[in-house]
Structure 1
Amino acid sequence: MLKRRVLIFTTNPVHNAPRVIREIECLKEHFELVVTGETPPEDKSIRYINSDHIKLSHLEYTLGKIFRVVTFGKVFMGKYPTTQRKIEKLLKEVNPELVIVHPGAFLPYFFNRKQKFKVVFNAHEFHPKEFEGDLRWKKTWGKIYDEIYKNYLPQVDLLINVCDGIAKECLTQYGKDSLVIPNAGIFRKEIAPHLKSLGKIRMIHHGVAIRERNLEVMIELANSLGERFELDLMLVYQDEKYYSQLKKLAKQSINVRLIPPVKFDEIVPFIHRYDMGLFLLPPVNFNYLHALPNKFFEFVQARLAIAVGPSPEMASLVRKHNIGVVSEDFTKDSLQRELQSITHESINTWKMASDKAASILSADQYNQLYTQAVLNLIS
């Protein structure tokens, strides 16, 4: 029996994109997948098309800037004809029954009069407020994404969001309901809690070194907790200046290290050696407030205790499953008060609770839901 053909469209690297990787794993047994991206998926059985030639060109970016100048600050809300032709060529080559679009900026290019396929928009965050603290971005891309959401969310056959808070915002602001598929990883049944009664309490934070995340606050937190605690930061980065600042702070610390990142599929086994996953994220924008990132679910699969600030999505799950501590506010002092009196006994209790929650907070719980939604669209 022939499988229905699905195009997964992104212009970012695929080999290390957790949400796309999990989507591929979820759907590949049921559909014939074609994936675009800057790099191919690790699974070589998946048909791959490099997306470099599809991205907006420097000329198109320049035209957008010129448009803002000649119109005294207005933002170009249309579609670039050259990009539209590239997308149409891709669609003709692949001939999909359903397209899953990841980059929000490309969503308009998948709607036209000749369209014969269904469209799923798998949003990684709430794009209209992605960098709302940057006034220049807010006046340009913020407006563009708001217009895209207004015009195209109603036309999308299925909208997928990463958490309840963003789903509610899409419903409130744009009248579009969502299927919520969090960034949960596969269930690691082979991993058991690593319990101990002696030694330092070892904390881990991993992810991207982004200045807006104020990662230095976690370094300050570890310093204030003293030598009974250790913190390792396993970071990837693009901002070399910010990473150098963090590196300098870590060298001045008594109990903080920056360590090299491991491959995506090695993260959970690697961090299993630690006691606690740490993430104190200041809510400097809407998406940070409602963050429910990959690392949270990787902490759970590694059977760690978890320490977070009062970010609603993360805090709710920590409290519901009793897997760690939540500070009263987003300050270093607040989380320090929660951590300074914890013992190995309390950490072991939270690790055991993470073990119980691991199957519930795994991608396995959402894969059937996602697969069935896609089947319903194209059946």
Structure 2
Amino acid sequence: MAGKRVLCISFSDINRDARVLRQLEVLAELGEVTTVAYGEQPPGATEHLRVDEALPSLPQTLSGVARLALRRFDAVELTAPAIREALRLVGDRRFDLVVANEARAMAMAHEIAHGAPVLADLHEWAPEERTHVLSWRLLVKPFMTHQCAKYLPKMSAVTVVNDSIGAMYTERFGVAPRTVRNTGPYRDLEPSDMAAGRIRLVHSGGAVPGRNIEAMIEAVRRLDERFSLDMYLVPARDGGKYLDSLRALIGDETRIRVHPPVRPAELADTLNGYDVGIFSLPPLTPNHRLMLPNKIFDYVQARLGIVFNASLETDRIILDHDLGAIAPDPTEGALHDTLAELTEDQVRGFKQNADKAAKVLNSVEDSAVTRTLAAELLGQRA
């Protein structure tokens, strides 16, 4: 694949986006990779075109919102401030393969490709990403649905995070996505020893409203002194306001602590010193209902027991490998009651089961899917 040029588009802070970082590892094996994204140059990129983090990747300008309201989707698809900046940065460069992360990047990828193949990694279900927000439901959902209907047939290959979401794209848009789960690389770790009389809970993820972090805090506050909760939180793009509100909610509760985020490559080692990874997410959207997040695989590689609220895809993994307990719903009470029933012996067993599962719940299989698709598409240009 010498001499092949690949463009990877991602409107995320790329160094905090574990899925895209794993994608880059594979793409870098196949050619020289140019990234266009928010944040500093990531590992694996030969060239990085940095988009100003203050620029939104949706058409949130006055004229953009007006066009969305008037359903002038073709006229607005390349007008989001971040997309306009990304197009300027890319300029007249030419590539042998373009990778578009998430549906919002498909129009730009098609524009830049100039006939080269485009691989769309949609991640999750794009049309209803944030339909619990009224403005998204009224303005962005129709736009995203139009983008999928227009551009998915033009994509050379499509990947998604799990089979359930892939089936939704097949039913609605007639495409057949391949599944690339959010698995991370295998980590050569062992379960940490339990501390007598203690169950050390941990949570990692974004400090974003709607992630039910308040319920986790309140559930742990009501637990007995055996339990503590440490949270490694990525601040939202709000100047730290939401994170500050969480700290205020915790107050003087010494058993609940907030830590700065750690890089994806360091996460498993950091989490390994704990006992149980927790997560609770209300099913406000199809993506919530069918969630299969990075963190469940991070927790496995860290050799932790797992407690999640009930959800189709995560239930399957927890039950198949006997990794932990499932709260029947995402309420504070259900999470509290599920955690309260844990014993040290149970948790020790869950951690041992995670050690076995880590050998199969890693990115070897999923990276192979990306590698095969990208190599085939580059071969078409040979």
CA distance in 2, matches of 1:38, 1:197: 41
Q: How far 1:32 moved relative to its partner? A: 2.2
Task: Please list the CA deviations of residues 163-217 of structure 1 after superposition, one character each: whole Å capped at 9, or x if unmatched.
Answer: 122111111111111111111111102x111132613100001111111112111
Identify the residue that residue 165 of structure 2 maps to in structure 1.
166
Work out the CA distance in 1 between the residues paired with 2:59 and 2:45.
35
What letter corresponds to residue 23 of structure 1 in structure 2? Q
Residue of structure 1 in register with 2:366 after alignment: 366
Which ranges of structure 2 fall in alignment gaps of 5 or more residues?
A: none
Q: Which runs of 5+ in 1 are unaligned?
A: none
- In structure 1, what is the Cα distance between the partners aligned to 2:175 and 2:59? 34
On the 8 A contact 2:21/2:43 being kept in 1, the answer is: no
Task: Classify the secondary structure of the residue corresponding to 1:337.
Answer: helix
1:310-340 Cα distance to aligned partner (Å, 9 max, x none): 0211111011111111122222332333322
**Is the partner of 2:181 in helix, strand or coil?**
coil
Please report the TM-score for the alignment, with normalisation by the length of structure 2.
Answer: 0.89
- In structure 1, C-alpha distance between the alignment counterparts of 2:374 and 2:9, rounded to whole Å: 15
Q: Which amino acid aligns with 1:366?
A: D
Task: Give the conservation status (yes or no) of the 8 Å contact 1:250–1:258.
Answer: no
Per-residue CA deviation, residues 15-68 of structure 1 (Å, 9 max, x unaligned), is 222111111112212222221122233427622222349x67999823223446
Q: Indicate the percent of aligned positions where both proteins have the same amino acid.
A: 27
3-state DSSP of counterpart to 2:151: helix
Cα 1:270–1:176 change in 2 (3 A) is same
Structure 1 position 344, deviation (Å): 1.7
Equivalent residue for 1:74? 70
Amino acid at match of 1:130: E
1:359 is paired with a residue of what secondary structure?
coil
Which residue of the partner structure matches residue 210 of structure 2? 212
Amino acid at match of 1:202: R
Q: Classify 1:20/1:30 alpha carbon distance in 2 versus 1 (closer, same or farther; 3 Å).
A: same
Deviations 1:80-131 (A, max 9, x none): 57767973983731x2111001142231233369832001111132121011
Instruction: Return closer, same or farther for 1:268/1:113 CA change in 2, 3 Å cut-off.
Output: closer
Q: 1:98 to 1:91 in 2, by over 3 A?
A: farther
Question: Secondary structure of 2:361's partner?
Answer: coil
Say which SS state the counterpart of residue 333 (structure 1) adopts: helix
- Over residues 126-145 of structure 1, what are the superposed CA-to-partner deviations in whole Å (9 max), with x where a residue is unaligned? 12101111122111111110
Partner of 2:96: 97
| 1:306 maps to 2:302 | no
For residues 91-130 of structure 1, the aligned pairs below 5 Å read 92-93=92-93, 95-111=94-110, 115-130=114-129
Residue 349 of structure 1 aligns with which residue? 349
2:140 paired with 1:141: yes
Q: Residue 159 of structure 2 aligns to a residue in which SS?
A: strand
Amino acid at match of 2:132: G
Is the CA contact 2:33–2:44 (under 8 Å) kept in the aligned structure 1? no
Equivalenced residue count is: 373
Per the TM alignment, residue 369 of structure 1 is displaced from its structure 2 partner at its CA by 2.1
CA distance in 2, matches of 1:105, 1:91: 19
Structure 2 letter corresponding to 1:126:
W
Letter in 2 for 1:171: T
Range moving further from structure 2, 264-273 or 139-148: 264-273
Whether the 8 Å contact between 1:87 and 1:110 is mirrored in structure 2 is no
AA aligned opposite 2:223: L
Task: Report what 1:245 is aligned to.
Answer: 245
Other-structure match for 2:192 = 194
Alpha-carbon deviations, 1:357-378, whole Å to 9, x = none? Answer: 1121111221122211211223
**Structure 1 residue 146 displacement after superposition:** 0.6
- SS of the residue aligned with 1:213? coil
- Provide the residue aligned with 2:156 in structure 1: 157
Deviates more, 1:108-117 or 1:21-30: 108-117
CA offset digits 1:213-232 (Å, max 9, x no partner)? 12111112112221111111
Q: Give the alignment of 1:29-40 within 5 angstroms.
A: 29-40=29-40
- In 2: Cα distance, 1:142 partner to 1:365 partner: 32
SS in 2 for 1:33: strand
The one-letter code sitting in structure 1 at the alignment partner of 2:215 is V
Could you say which residue in structure 1 is the equivalent of 2:177?
178
- Change in Cα spacing, 1:186 to 1:113, as seen in structure 2 (3 Å) is closer
| Distance across 2 between alignment mates of 1:378 and 1:236 | 35
What is the TM-score of this pair, normalised by structure 1? 0.90
Whether the 8 Å contact between 2:51 and 2:86 is mirrored in structure 1 is no
- CA distance in structure 1 between the partners assigned to 2:194 and 2:89 by the alignment: 58
Question: Which letter does structure 2 place at the counterpart of 1:237?
Answer: P
- Measure the CA separation in 2 of the matches of 1:118 and 1:157: 6
In structure 2, the CA distance between the partners of 1:370 and 1:286, relative to structure 1 (3 Å rule), is same
Contact 1:322 1:353 in 2 (8 A): yes
CA distance in 2, matches of 1:230, 1:114: 50
In structure 2, the residue matched to 1:232 is: 230
2:34–2:45: 8 Å Cα contact kept in structure 1?
A: no
Distance 1:228 1:209 in 2: 25
Q: Which amino acid aligns with 1:194?
A: S
- What is the alpha-carbon distance in structure 1 between the residues aligned to residue 205 and residue 113 of structure 2? 41
CA distance in 1, matches of 2:321, 2:287: 23
Residue 279 of structure 2 corresponds to which residue in structure 1?
A: 279
2:24 matched to 1:24?
A: yes
Deviates more, 1:10-19 or 1:174-183: 10-19
Go from structure 1 to structure 2 and tell me whether the alpha carbon gap of 1:264 and 1:182 turns closer, same or farther (over 3 Å shift): same
